[in-house]
Structure 1
Amino acid sequence: MDPKRELTSVDLAALVGELGAYEGAKVDKAYRYGDDLVRLKMRDFDRGRMELILEVGEVKRAHTVAPERVPDAPGRPPQFAMMLRNRLSGADFAGVEQYEFDRILEFTFEREDGTTRLIVELFGQGNVAVTDGEYEVIDCLETVRLKSRTVVPGSRYEFPDSRTNPLTISREAFDHEMNDSDTDVVRTLATQLNFGGFYAEELCTRAGVEKGLDIPDADEDVYDRLYAAIERLALDIRNGNFDPRLYLEGGEDESGADGDADDAATDEADAADAHVVDVTPFPLEERAELAAEPYDSFLTALDDYFFRLELDDEEESNPTDQKPDFGSEIAKHERIIEQQQGAIEGFEQEADSLREQAELLYAEYGLVDEILSTIQNARQQDRPWDEIRERFEAGADRGIEAAEAVVDVDGSDGTVTVDIGGERIELVTQQGVEQNADRLYTEAKRVEEKKEGALAAIENTREDLEDAKRRRDEWEADDGESADEDESDEEETQRDWLAEPSVPIRENEPWFDRFRWFKTSDDFLVIGGRNADQNEELVKKYLEPGDKVFHTQAHGAPVTVLKATDPSEASSSDIELPESSIEEAARFAVSYSSVWKDGRYAGDVYAVDSDQVTKTPESGEYLEKGGFAIRGDRTYYRDTPVDVAVGIQCEPYTRVIGGPSSAIEDRAVTTIELEPGRYAQADTAKRLYRTFRERFEDETFVRKIASPDRIQHFMPPGGSRISEE
Structure 2
Amino acid sequence: MEPKRELSSVDLAALATELSRYEGAKLDKAYLYDEDLLRLKLRDFDRGRIELLIEVGENKQAHVADPSRVPDAPGRPPEFAMMLRGRIESADLVSVEQYEFDRILVFEFERPDQNTTLVVELFGDGNVAVLDGNGEVVRSLETVRLKSRTVAPGSQYEFPKSRLNPLEVDYDTLEARMEQSDTDVVRTVATQLNLGGFWGEELCTRAGVEKTMEIADAGEDEFRAIHRELMDLADALRSGQFDPRVYVERDNEEDGDDDADGPLTERGTVVDVSPVVLEERSELPSQAFDSFNPALEEYFYRLKEQAQREEEGGGRERPDFEAEIEKEKRIIEQQEQAIEGFEEEAAELRRKAEICYARYDLIDEVLSTIQAARERNTPWADIQETLEQGAEQGIPAAEAVVDVDGAEGTVTVDVDDERITLDATTGVEKNADRLYQEAKRVEGKKEGAREAIEDTRERLEAVKRRREEWEAEPEPEPEPEEGEHEETDWLARESIPVRQPEQWYEEFRWFHTSDGYLVIGGRNADQNEALVKKYLDKHDRFFHTQAHGGPVTILKASGPSEPSSPVDFPDASLQEAAQFAVAYSSVWKDGRGAGDAYMVEPDQVSKTPESGEYLEKGGFAIRGDREYFRDMPCRVAVGITCADETRVIGGPPSAIEPDAETTITLEPGKFAQNDAAVKCYREFKSRFTDESFVRKIASADRIQEFLPPGGSDLLDV
- TM-score normalised by structure 2 residue count: 0.51
Letter in 1 for 2:59: V
Letter in 2 for 1:192: Q
Aligned to 2:607: 615
| Gap regions ≥5 residues in structure 2 | 325-378, 388-403, 410-422, 424-475, 487-504, 542-551, 575-600, 624-642, 656-717
Aligned to 1:488: 481
1:3: Cα distance to partner? 0.6
Aligned to 1:595: none
Matched, 1:314 2:308: yes
> Does the 8 Å CA contact 1:242/1:298 hold for their aligned counterparts?
yes
SS state at 2:109 partner:
strand
**Aligned 1:680-719 pairs, distance under 5 A:** none
> Does the 8 Å CA contact 1:246/1:293 hold for their aligned counterparts?
yes
1:656: Cα distance to partner? 9.8
Q: Which moved more, 1:143-152 or 1:303-312?
A: 143-152
**What is the distance in 1 between the residues matched to 2:150 and 2:36?**
19
Aligned to 2:347: none
**What is the distance in 1 between the residues matched to 2:211 and 2:254?**
24
Aligned to 1:351: none
Query: Superposition RMSD on alpha carbons, in Å?
Result: 5.3
1:563: Cα distance to partner? 6.7
**What is the distance in 1 between the residues matched to 2:12 and 2:119?**
13
Aligned to 1:165: 165
Q: Which moved more, 1:18-27 or 1:74-83?
A: 74-83
SS state at 1:317 partner:
helix
Matched, 1:297 2:288: no
> Does the 8 Å CA contact 2:539/2:565 hold for their aligned counterparts?
no
Q: Which moved more, 1:249-258 or 1:15-24?
A: 249-258
**What is the distance in 2 between the residues matched to 1:152 and 1:537?**
21
CA deviations on 1:111-150 (whole Å, 9 max, x unpaired) are 2232221222222222222222222222323333333323
Letter in 2 for 1:584: P
Matched, 1:287 2:287: no
SS state at 1:583 partner:
coil
Structure of larger gyration radius: 1
SS state at 1:164 partner:
coil
Aligned to 2:677: none
1:577 to 559, 562, 575: 562
> Does the 8 Å CA contact 1:525/1:562 hold for their aligned counterparts?
yes
Aligned to 2:494: none
1:170: Cα distance to partner? 0.8
CA deviations on 1:192-216 (whole Å, 9 max, x unpaired) are 1111111222222222221212222
> Does the 8 Å CA contact 1:130/1:138 hold for their aligned counterparts?
yes
Letter in 2 for 1:288: S
Aligned to 2:118: 118
| Cα 1:626–1:614 shift into 2, 3 Å | closer
Letter in 2 for 1:242: F
| Cα 1:488–1:544 shift into 2, 3 Å | farther
CA deviations on 1:25-77 (whole Å, 9 max, x unpaired) are 22233333334333323333332332222222222112222333333444443
| Cα 1:310–1:622 shift into 2, 3 Å | same
CA deviations on 1:143-172 (whole Å, 9 max, x unpaired) are 333333232332222222221111111111
**What is the distance in 2 between the residues matched to 1:298 and 1:615?**
58
1:311: Cα distance to partner? 0.9
| Cα 1:154–1:317 shift into 2, 3 Å | same
SS state at 1:105 partner:
strand
**What is the distance in 1 between the residues matched to 2:168 and 2:528?**
59
> Does the 8 Å CA contact 2:244/2:288 hold for their aligned counterparts?
yes
**Length, aligned pairs only:** 445
| Cα 1:287–1:615 shift into 2, 3 Å | same
**Aligned 1:229-244 pairs, distance under 5 A:** 229-244=229-244
1:543 to 532, 549, 557: 532
**What is the distance in 2 between the residues matched to 1:286 and 1:157?**
37
**What is the distance in 2 between the residues matched to 1:177 and 1:583?**
68
> Does the 8 Å CA contact 1:242/1:297 hold for their aligned counterparts?
yes
Letter in 2 for 1:211: K
| Cα 1:136–1:200 shift into 2, 3 Å | same
**What is the distance in 2 between the residues matched to 1:243 and 1:321?**
38
**What is the distance in 1 between the residues matched to 2:511 and 2:101?**
55
1:96: Cα distance to partner? 1.4
**Aligned 1:349-364 pairs, distance under 5 A:** none
Letter in 2 for 1:577: E
Aligned to 2:381: 390
1:621: Cα distance to partner? 12
**Aligned 1:93-242 pairs, distance under 5 A:** 93-242=93-242
**What is the distance in 2 between the residues matched to 1:515 and 1:5?**
37
Aligned to 1:358: none
SS state at 1:181 partner:
coil
Aligned to 1:439: none
| Cα 1:48–1:489 shift into 2, 3 Å | farther
**What is the distance in 1 between the residues matched to 2:382 and 2:279?**
70
CA deviations on 1:71-111 (whole Å, 9 max, x unpaired) are 34444433333332332222221211111111111111112
**What is the distance in 2 between the residues matched to 1:282 and 1:47?**
25
**What is the distance in 2 between the residues matched to 1:182 and 1:563?**
66
> Does the 8 Å CA contact 2:264/2:287 hold for their aligned counterparts?
no
| Cα 1:84–1:519 shift into 2, 3 Å | farther
**What is the distance in 1 between the residues matched to 2:61 and 2:144?**
20
SS state at 2:167 partner:
coil
> Does the 8 Å CA contact 1:149/1:160 hold for their aligned counterparts?
yes
Letter in 1 for 2:120: V
CA deviations on 1:233-263 (whole Å, 9 max, x unpaired) are 111111110121111102446997745xxxx
